[in-house]
Amino acid sequence: DVKVTQSSRYLVKRTGEKVFLECVQDMDHENMFWYRQDPGLGLRLIYFSYDVKMKEKGDIPEGYSVSREKKERFSLILESASTNQTSMYLCASSWGGGTGELFFGEGSRLTVL
Amino acid sequence: AQSVAQPEDQVNVAEGNPLTVKCTYSVSGNPYLFWYVQYPNRGLQFLLKYITGDNLVKGSYGFEAEFNKSQTSFHLKKPSALVSDSALYFCAVRPRYSGGYQKVTFGTGTKLQVIP
């Protein structure tokens, strides 16, 4: 089974802090994604990566950056956390070809005070 | 632009009764269609997908989905609901183009409540 592991399930940070969310997948997937989930808004794509060191902006990239130095690891960075970034963050991965179903991690719930 | 609509924020159904969670979509061409389920405080899990062929797709946990091209719908169904089916369900669509990454668009989710 595909396993996508997010390093932190729950985080509490203060406004202005730098936040790192880590995600690791163990199935050699080419594509990796970071989504943000908010009630009533569904899932919104922040960034995705289709190869090592490659990244593409999603729908809501402002205030975020990403890093993919190794194929299995995709990090989401909040350079200066703000209260409106309080949310559930979901990492996902998928094969490069095929139909593209996504495999999700358990999520990281971030609260910014 | 592609979009997915889940018109019901919440669906309530009695245990043992059939359930339907609705989804309509707008995308060019013939898309791939997906359903995912999310249990409380968990990530999303893939349930089923439509690629081509038979309009009735069977998936995990006894769920199935009916693809209707003329109505651009992909409704999720189950003949007999269980209390353990209570969760948040997301419909998603992905264009069927070759070359490059094709973005997956999610609906806003429908909360299914199965009443004992």
Return the residue of B nearest to A37 by Cα. Answer: B108
- Best B35, B106, B110 member to test A by mutation, with max A CBs in 10 Å, is B106
The residue of chain A nearest to residue B37, with distances taken between CA atoms, is A104
Nearest CA in chain B to A107: B43
Mean pLDDT value of segment B24-45:
91
Shortest CA distance to B73 belongs to which of B9, B11, B4, B2?
B4
Do B43 and A106 make contact, defined as CB atoms within 8 angstroms?
yes
Residue B42, CB-side half-sphere exposure with 13 Å CA sphere: 12
- Interface membership of B10 toward A (CB under 8 Å): no
- Inter-chain contacts counted by CB atoms under 8 A, chains A and B: 52
Query: Which tens digit of pLDDT belongs to each residue from A25-51?
Result: 998 999 999 999 998 888 999 999 998
- Of A52-56, A67-71, B108-112, the one with minimum mean pLDDT is A52-56
Q: Does A107 touch chain B (CB under 8 A)?
A: yes
Mean pLDDT of B73-79: 97
**Does A106 reach chain B within 8 Å, measured CB to CB?**
yes
Put simply, whether B49 touches A (Cβ < 8 Å) is yes
Average pLDDT of the residues in B84-102 = 84
Tokens found for residue B14: 């009695």
pLDDT in tens, B58-73: 999 999 999 999 999 9
Following DSSP, what letter does each residue of B41-110 receive, concatenated? Answer: TS-EEEEEEE-SS-SEEE-GGG-EEEEETTTTEEEEEESS--GGG-EEEEEEEE---SSS----EE---E
A51 touches chain B (CB under 8 A): no
